[in-house]
Amino acid sequence: MSVDSAYHQDTTVLPTDLLSLLDKQRQAYAAHPYPPLAQRQQWLKSLRRLLSDEREVLIDAISQDFSHRSHDETLFAELMPSLHNIDYALKHLKRWMKPSSRSVGVMFQPASARVLYQPLGVIGIIVPWNYPLFLAMGPLIGALAAGNRVMLKLSEFTPATGRLLKDLLGRIFPDDMVTVVLGDAEVAVAFSSLPVDHLLFTGSTHVGKLVMRAAAEHLTPVTLELGGKSPAIVSADVPLKDAAQRIAWGKSLNAGQTCIAPDYVLVPEDRVGAFIDAYRQVMHSFYPTLSDNPDYTAIINERQLARLEHLKTDASAKGARLIPLYEQGQGRRMPHCLLLEVNDEMQVMQEEIFGPLLPIVPYRHLEQALAYINDRPRPLALYYFGYNKAEQQRVLENTHSGGVCVNETLLHVAIDDLPFGGVGPSGMGCYHGHEGFLTFSHAKAVLTKQRVNSSLAIYPPYGRTLGRWVQKLFIR
């Protein structure tokens, strides 16, 4: 099917319709509150077949939303991890669903204790524009594995992808099982105010605060996947080609429009010039030119492009030295640019960049670099480049971030057995893999007794012989 045929009519949901959609899902959940393993496996297998069969039309829709998105980036960064995530859930779901046995103290015997992992009910998921497929599928997979119903709010900045996903998911799931909500900021505000059983939001820290405030009205638990300024540290002795190559890939993927992209690089002051040379060489090997280069992704829209251009202008006006790596781009394919002599007065050092601008901050010794990071809000990711294991451990133990890669960027998000989430200003809660199943489940404590009532010893009236013996034995 073509991309256009999937959304030939307006399917935007009005804010007033959201409660009726939620009510329909609540009723469906009430009728089937604990879907069996086979049912959940069938949901996940249907989703996997859909993503695999429709991969090309999905890639085309995302590219249309960006004006140009690299085919291979969408394949590797969105489709592949989504398919692997489903495979991982299918492999482990039986074990995840099994109630976990817990111990019971002697005083409370005979009895048994276990934790039952129960679906929460209806999960609300707010999806950003930068990875509209992967950041919809990741939480959707976790929510379905846990046995829930799901409402997905897609970004208004990816209309082609949103309408296509609404059509595709509607083929395999009724809207009382999975529904896709489209609409502008007004719809998003109403969506975040719904009394769902859990709300997951991926986006900026500023909007995350608004989402959490809206959810608090109903005491809705939230998982916030935010962002922040994720640093990369280049050590004093790592080969610069190694570090430059991996940082450049992490920064140029999706033109830097990634919540865990390296936001700035801390480089030993005596290695800054050599790092710039290595970085430029690597970037030109990745992208010899930007014009008509199918591998280089465009900025999502004119608004974001203007924001990034303003960051450059503001930095330059306040004393930064800009080092463009290309003469010009094409359309919204923004040229990669390094920034030197930056300071905290510049907006580029105050807010998440989310684009192909990379400030370089010199440092003299590792403690100074760690202090620089720790003086700032805790980021979603941190990257360290160096092969000294003692230094690696110092970085891990003396910094806070949602996740860390040592001698790599971005790829921790693709490891199915690792939780993904932020800390402090970069988010709360986590998902992916088993942690995703747990996030969208209620761990219900269950204590079971049969006919023998060992609790008689602690019933009133107090002061009886049996009660005194209990005190002597168990209160010491």
List, by residue number, the catalytic residues. 225
Residues 6+ apart with CB under 8 A from 223: 139, 198, 199, 200, 201, 421, 427, 428, 429, 430, 431, 439
Residue whose pair of structure tokens reads 């804010």 in the numeric block:
15
Cβ atoms < 10 Å from Cβ of 310: 12
Please say whether the beta carbons of 333 and 293 come within 8 A: yes
Secondary structure (3-state) at 87: helix
Secondary element (H or E) of residue 232: strand 231-234
Could you tell me if residue 219 is left (phi over 0), alpha (psi between -120 and 50 degrees) or otherwise beta?
A: left
Instruction: Find residue 222's DSSP bridge partners.
Output: 199
Alpha-carbon distances of 110 from 26, 100, 211, 454, rounded to whole Å: 38, 18, 46, 7
- Compute CA distances 161 → 55, 59, 63, 153, whole Å: 12, 9, 9, 12
In this structure, what is the dihedral angle of CA atoms 375, 376, 381, 385, given to the nearest 10 degrees?
-40
Contact 191, 169 (CB under 8 A): no
Q: 3-state DSSP call for residue 315?
A: helix
Distance, in Å, from the CA atom of 177 to the CA atom of 43, rounded to the nearest integer, reads 10
CB-CB contact of 124 with 25 (8 Å): no
Per the listing, tokens 């999502």 go with: 300
Of 224, 192, 234, 191, which is closest to residue 361 (Cα–Cα)?
A: 234
